[in-house]
A and B are shown apart, each in its own frame.
Chain A
Amino acid sequence: MKLNPKAVSLLQVAPMGIIFTAMVLVPLLIIIVVSFLDYDFARVFPEIYLGSWQDVLTSQLTLDLYETTFKFVAIVWVITFSLGFSIAYFLVFHVRTLQIRLMLLAAIAIPFWTSGPIRAVAWVPLLGREGLVNQALLGLGIVDQPVAWLMYSEFAILVAYIHLLTMPMVITISNSMMKIPGSIIQAAQDAGASEFQIIREIILPLARPGIAIGTIFVVTAVMGDFFIVKTMSGGQVNTATMAIVTELNAFQYPPAAAKSVLMLAIVLGLVALLLRFADIRKELTK
Chain B
Amino acid sequence: MTPKTPKDASTTAPGTTPAPTGLSRRALLKTGAAAGAASLFPAPMLWAQNIKDVKIVHAGQSYSTIPNIAEQANKDLGFTVEMQTLDQTTQTNRMLTQPDTLDVVDVPNTSMKYFLGRDILMPLAVKDYKWWDKTVPLFTQGTYPNGEAYSMQGYAPIKAQYYTSEKAKEYSLTPTEWLVGVPLYYNADTIGIRPDLIDRPIESWADLLSSDFNGKVALQDGVAVGVPDAAMALEAMGDVTYVDKGNMTKEEIDATIDKLIAYKKDGHFRSFWTTFEQSVQLMASGEVVLESMWAPAVTEVRTRGIECKYNGMKEGYRGWYIMMMGMSHLDGLQRDCAIEYMNWYNSGWVGAFISRQGFYNSVPENVQPMMTENEYGYWYEGKAATDDILNPFGKVMETAGAVRDGGALWDRMGNIGIWNSLMDEDRYLVRRWQDFIAA
- Asked if A and B bind, the verdict is yes
When A121-B281, A246-B430, A250-B430 are in contact, do A238 and B437 touch as well, CB less than 8 Å? yes
How many Å lie between the Cα of A131 and that of B281 in the bound state?
Answer: 11
Contacts of B270 in A (CB 8 A): 148, 152, 234
When A230-B274, A235-B274, A251-B114 are in contact, do A129 and B281 touch as well, CB less than 8 Å? no
CB contacts under 8 Å to A, within B213-234, are: 215, 218, 221-223
How many Å lie between the Cα of A61 and that of B426 in the bound state?
Answer: 18
Q: Among B92, B223, B278, point to the contact of A42 (Cβ < 8 A).
A: B92
Q: Among B281, B287, B422, B434, point to the contact of A61 (Cβ < 8 A).
A: B434
Q: Among B93, B272, B431, B438, point to the contact of A234 (Cβ < 8 A).
A: B272
Encode contact with B along A114-152: 1 for CB under 8 Å, 0 otherwise: 000000010011001111000000000000000010011
CB contacts under 8 Å to B, within A214-273, are: 230-231, 234-238, 242-243, 246-252, 255
The prevalent SS among residues of B at the interface is: helix
Contacts of A250 in B (CB 8 A): 223, 426, 430
Contacts of B422 in A (CB 8 A): 41
Residue A197, interface by CB 8 Å: no
Tell whether, in the assembled complex, residue B438 and residue A61 are in contact, meaning their CB atoms are under 8 Å apart. yes
How many Å lie between the Cα of A54 and that of B286 in the bound state?
Answer: 44
How many Å lie between the Cα of A124 and that of B274 in the bound state?
Answer: 15
Task: Tell me how far the C-beta of B386 lies from the nearest C-beta in chain A, rounded to whole angstroms.
Answer: 36
Tell whether, in the assembled complex, residue B285 and residue A131 are in contact, meaning their CB atoms are under 8 Å apart. yes
How many Å lie between the Cα of A55 and that of B428 in the bound state?
Answer: 12
Output the nearest chain B residue to A250 by Cβ-Cβ distance.
Answer: B430
Residue A40, interface by CB 8 Å: yes
Contacts of A28 in B (CB 8 A): none
Tell whether, in the assembled complex, residue A235 and residue B273 are in contact, meaning their CB atoms are under 8 Å apart. yes
Tell whether, in the assembled complex, residue A242 and residue B437 are in contact, meaning their CB atoms are under 8 Å apart. yes
Tell whether, in the assembled complex, residue B269 and residue A236 are in contact, meaning their CB atoms are under 8 Å apart. yes
Output the nearest chain A residue to B264 by Cβ-Cβ distance.
Answer: A236
Total number of B residues with any Cβ neighbor in A under 8 Å: 35
Tell whether, in the assembled complex, residue B273 and residue A234 are in contact, meaning their CB atoms are under 8 Å apart. yes
How many Å lie between the Cα of A25 and that of B431 in the bound state?
Answer: 28
Residue A105, interface by CB 8 Å: no
Output the nearest chain B residue to A51 by Cβ-Cβ distance.
Answer: B427
Contacts of A248 in B (CB 8 A): 89
CB contacts under 8 Å to B, within A47-65, are: 55, 61, 64-65
Residue A189, interface by CB 8 Å: no
Tell whether, in the assembled complex, residue B437 and residue A125 are in contact, meaning their CB atoms are under 8 Å apart. no
When A41-B114, A242-B437 are in contact, do A235 and B221 touch as well, CB less than 8 Å? yes
Task: Tell me how far the C-beta of B209 lies from the nearest C-beta in chain A, rounded to whole angstroms.
Answer: 16
Total number of A residues with any Cβ neighbor in B under 8 Å: 37
Residue A68, interface by CB 8 Å: yes
Residue B435, interface by CB 8 Å: yes
How many Å lie between the Cα of A131 and that of B113 in the bound state?
Answer: 42
Encode contact with B along A148-162: 1 for CB under 8 Å, 0 otherwise: 100110000000000
Residue B96, interface by CB 8 Å: yes
Contacts of A124 in B (CB 8 A): 281, 285, 287
Tell whether, in the assembled complex, residue A129 and residue B287 are in contact, meaning their CB atoms are under 8 Å apart. yes
Tell whether, in the assembled complex, residue A236 and residue B272 are in contact, meaning their CB atoms are under 8 Å apart. yes
Contacts of B92 in A (CB 8 A): 42, 251
Encode contact with B along A70-81: 1 for CB under 8 Å, 0 otherwise: 000000000000
Residue B271, interface by CB 8 Å: yes
How many Å lie between the Cα of A43 and that of B422 in the bound state?
Answer: 15
Output the nearest chain A residue to B116 by Cβ-Cβ distance.
Answer: A41
Tell whether, in the assembled complex, residue B271 and residue A246 are in contact, meaning their CB atoms are under 8 Å apart. no
How many Å lie between the Cα of A238 and that of B431 in the bound state?
Answer: 12
How many Å lie between the Cα of A42 and that of B431 in the bound state?
Answer: 15
Encode contact with A along B275-306: 1 for CB under 8 Å, 0 otherwise: 00110010001110000000000000000000
Q: Among A42, A61, A68, A129, point to the contact of B114 (Cβ < 8 A).
A: A42
Contacts of B360 in A (CB 8 A): none
Residue B379, interface by CB 8 Å: no
Task: Tell me how far the C-beta of B316 lies from the nearest C-beta in chain A, rounded to whole angstroms.
Answer: 26
When A55-B431, A251-B114, A252-B430 are in contact, do A152 and B223 touch as well, CB less than 8 Å? no
Contacts of B271 in A (CB 8 A): 152, 234-236
How many Å lie between the Cα of A148 and that of B233 in the bound state?
Answer: 24
Residue B433, interface by CB 8 Å: yes
Contacts of B434 in A (CB 8 A): 61, 238, 243, 246-247
Task: Tell me how far the C-beta of B258 lies from the nearest C-beta in chain A, rounded to whole angstroms.
Answer: 14
Output the nearest chain B residue to A67 by Cβ-Cβ distance.
Answer: B438
Encode contact with B along A180-215: 1 for CB under 8 Å, 0 otherwise: 000000000000000000000000000000000000
Contacts of B96 in A (CB 8 A): 42, 251
How many Å lie between the Cα of A39 and that of B427 in the bound state?
Answer: 9
Contacts of B114 in A (CB 8 A): 41-43, 251
Contacts of A251 in B (CB 8 A): 92-93, 96, 114
CB contacts under 8 Å to B, within A68-100, are: 68
Task: Tell me how far the C-beta of A88 lies from the nearest C-beta in chain B, rounded to whole angstroms.
Answer: 35
How many Å lie between the Cα of A264 and that of B93 in the bound state?
Answer: 23
CB contacts under 8 Å to A, within B87-143, are: 89, 92-93, 96, 113-114, 118
Task: Tell me how far the C-beta of A276 lies from the nearest C-beta in chain B, rounded to whole angstroms.
Answer: 32
Tell whether, in the assembled complex, residue A234 and residue B218 are in contact, meaning their CB atoms are under 8 Å apart. yes
Tell whether, in the assembled complex, residue A121 and residue B277 are in contact, meaning their CB atoms are under 8 Å apart. yes
How many Å lie between the Cα of A237 and that of B264 in the bound state?
Answer: 11
How many Å lie between the Cα of A270 and that of B435 in the bound state?
Answer: 26
Output the nearest chain A residue to B218 by Cβ-Cβ distance.
Answer: A234
How many Å lie between the Cα of A238 and that of B432 in the bound state?
Answer: 12
Q: Among A152, A230, A236, A246, point to the contact of B433 (Cβ < 8 A).
A: A246
How many Å lie between the Cα of A65 and that of B264 in the bound state?
Answer: 17
Tell whether, in the assembled complex, residue B286 and residue A235 are in contact, meaning their CB atoms are under 8 Å apart. no
Residue from A64, A246, A255 with most neighbouring chain B CB atoms (10 Å) = A246
Output the nearest chain B residue to A41 by Cβ-Cβ distance.
Answer: B113
Contacts of A130 in B (CB 8 A): 285-287
Contacts of A42 in B (CB 8 A): 92, 96, 113-114
Q: CB within 8 Å of A: which residues of B?
A: 89, 92-93, 96, 113-114, 118, 215, 218, 221-223, 264, 269-274, 277-278, 281, 285-287, 422, 426-427, 430-431, 433-435, 437-438
**Listed A/B pairs (10) with beta-carbon separation below 8 Å:** A64-B438, A125-B285, A128-B287, A129-B287, A131-B285, A230-B274, A236-B269, A236-B271, A237-B438, A251-B93
A41-B114, A235-B274 known; 20 new pairs, CB 8 Å cut-off, are: A41-B113, A42-B92, A42-B113, A124-B281, A128-B287, A130-B287, A148-B270, A230-B221, A231-B278, A234-B269, A234-B273, A235-B271, A236-B271, A237-B438, A238-B434, A242-B437, A243-B438, A247-B434, A250-B430, A252-B427
The 4 closest A-B pairs by CB, nearest first: A234-B271, A235-B272, A238-B438, A42-B114
